[in-house]
Amino acid sequence: MVPVSLAQLWIPILLSAVCVFAASSLIHMVLKWHASDYRALSNEDEVRAAIRKGTPAPGQYVLPHCADMKDMAKPGMQQKYKDGPVGFLMLSPSGAPNMGKALGQWFLYSVVVAFMAAYVASRTLGPGTHYLQVFRVVGAVSFLTYGFGSIPMGIWAGKPWGSVIKDLADALIYGLLSAGVFGWLWPR
């Protein structure tokens, strides 16, 4: 089998990234099906003030914090878990979110996912491969890449499973779009 060159796949790579970016924009700005994934705290101002008082740097935090797994069995730590809350907190730098930067990073991520799908497909499929076979390979790689990172967040960080399922639905859409573009533009 003669392999397909990645240079031959730049148009489907970029076009699939554009399609995913457009679909993502529709999902988040028009359909807004993720809006219910985020809740407000009833005492948000007090929580914000308490966090600000500790002057934490941007980063990822866990509470209660347990520096060593051996400490989990200590009565004081067990009481903290019992009393709650138990959670994970991610803090960004103060200031309005930089949507341009975030959207640029999302597009770049979409290009990387498409590139990786192209790489796998180019190593496993030859020129002239039937549309459906290209669709299967690129769709599977894209779906796994876009969606399966959310599952560990449900397992380990307490992300609601309904939100994880929505992420998987997004990933399925992105995977189908990517698969369609690659199947259509696959080198003959």
Name residue 60's beta-bridge partners.
90
Q: What is the pLDDT of residues 84-99, one digit of tens each?
A: 999 999 999 999 999 9
Tokens encoding 165: 């399922």
| pLDDT score at 3 | 87
pLDDT of 2 over the 90 cut = no
Q: What is the pLDDT of residues 7-16, one digit of tens each?
A: 999 999 999 9
pLDDT of 109 over the 90 cut = yes
Share of the chain above pLDDT 70, in %: 100
Per the listing, tokens 């640029």 go with 104
Picking from 146, 101, 103, 118, the residue whose alpha carbon sits closest to that of residue 15 is 118
Mean pLDDT computed over 118-123: 98
| pLDDT score at 15 | 98
| pLDDT score at 75 | 96
Determine how many CB atoms are found less than 10 A away from the CB of residue 167. 21
| Distance spanning both ends of the chain, measured CA to CA | 13
Q: What is the pLDDT of residues 19-60, one digit of tens each?
A: 999 999 999 999 999 999 999 999 999 999 999 999 999 999
Q: Which are the contacts of 9, defined by CB distance < 8 A and separation ≥ 6?
A: 118, 121, 122, 182, 185, 187
Picking from 188, 133, 143, 138, the residue whose alpha carbon sits closest to that of residue 168 is 143
| pLDDT score at 1 | 78
